[in-house]
A and B are shown apart, each in its own frame.
Chain A
Amino acid sequence: MSARNLLWDAAKKCFAIGLIGITVRDRYVSIAAVRGASMSPSLNPLVDEASSSRRPISDDYVFVEKFCLEKYGFSHGDVVIFTSPTDHKERHIKRIIGLPGDWVGISHIDDVIRVPEGHCWVEGDNLASSFDSRSLGPIPLGLVRGRVTHVVWPPSRIGRVERKIGHQSVHSY
């Protein structure tokens, strides 16, 4: 077999692997990096709340599953990754607090809002430094790109991401 044939074979293999990789990433599972401390302590935990440096030690990498997108069957407390409504190139990771039809209480202005049809209410676990539905309003479910299930890196933090029911009362309508 000539060198040219070998090269051609290798190129074909790379192409096939790329295709399969992209398909799996789009439809089934993917890995995402978490930036910032808005989901502390579930993701990127801060070492010391009072310390002068308020940056987490290292970024967590999380496992994202996309099977939930077929039926959009989310439940309260799921951690999801979604495209930012203000910038379509950015992704955010937050926790679902309210689903369509729920009444959600907003702590800092003492108001109650009804989540509209096809939307959800998301908030970070670290309410002090999180940019979420409290300023953006309800997020359309169509922007959700997957559900975060596990932390896969760094090794010391490998484990499930727990589903937590929120700190505030949610009333189903």
Chain B
Amino acid sequence: MSLITARWMSIAKEAVDRAAIVARFLCLLHVADTYLCSPTLVYGPSMFPTINITGDILIAERVSHRLGKVGPGDVVLVKSPVNPRKTLTKRIIGVEGDRIIFQVDPVNSDRCQRVVVPKGHVWIQGDNTYASNDSRHFGPIPRGLIQGKVLCRVWPPEGFGSLSH
């Protein structure tokens, strides 16, 4: 009888050990993903021609937006202010205090509008002015919505490299 109990005990102990290893691994993954960098699949026409319509895999780093070190020209991942479950990829055009002049409707008219970006906000726009839903529609967005800065493209392999202009 005691032999059987001992065997069960050892099996249970091993199961707990394995579970702990898996849990630690998942936690490490989460921490690396939120605080260091992570791969992201990006698709859609709004950043064409910088990012292909069919989908690219980018590496995004998660450090500089915490330190406030993102500036004009950086491509960033942003939580959509319209739907918090969606993430957008756009380029920062202006930071707080900048004067922005933009075309309200580039397809049909030349009408321009000017705004000043308020404190703690950034102005984001897609590279494809004609098919992008960005700050021209929902206004400047708070820095707190920025999720990361895109470092480089890793897929497709021929497009490997940084995304700067």
Write the residues of chain A forming the contact surface with B, with a CB cutoff of 8 angstroms.
16, 19-20, 22-23, 26-27, 72, 82-89, 116-119, 140-144
Contacts and interface: CB of A to CB of B under 8 A. Distances in A.
Nearest to B82: A118
Given A82-B144, A116-B82, 11 more contacts: A16-B24, A16-B27, A22-B27, A23-B27, A23-B30, A84-B120, A84-B142, A85-B142, A86-B118, A118-B80, A144-B84
Interface of B: 23-24, 26-28, 30-31, 34-35, 65, 68, 79-85, 118-121, 141-146
A88 B120 contact: yes
B31 A140 contact: no
Contacts of A16: 24, 27
A103 to B, nearest CB: 19
B145 A142 contact: yes
Contact of B144 (A20, A23, A85, A116): A85
Contacts of A82: 144
25 contacts: A16-B24, A19-B27, A19-B31, A22-B30, A22-B31, A23-B27, A84-B120, A84-B142, A85-B120, A85-B142, A86-B118, A86-B142, A87-B120, A88-B65, A88-B68, A88-B120, A88-B143, A116-B82, A118-B82, A118-B84, A119-B81, A141-B84, A142-B79, A142-B80, A142-B84
A22 B29 CA distance: 11
Nearest to B118: A86
A19 B28 contact: yes
A118 B83 contact: yes
A49 B28 CA distance: 48
B82 A117 contact: yes
Contacts of A119: 81
B28 A142 contact: no
B142 A88 contact: yes
A85 B121 contact: yes
A86 B121 CA distance: 7
Nearest to A23: B27
Contacts of B119: 86-87
Contacts of A86: 118-121, 142
Nearest to A141: B84
A26 B81 contact: no
Nearest to B147: A142
A26 B119 CA distance: 27
B24 A19 contact: yes
A19 B81 CA distance: 30
Contacts of A22: 27, 30-31, 35
A116 B83 CA distance: 11
A20 B84 contact: no
A59 B80 CA distance: 34
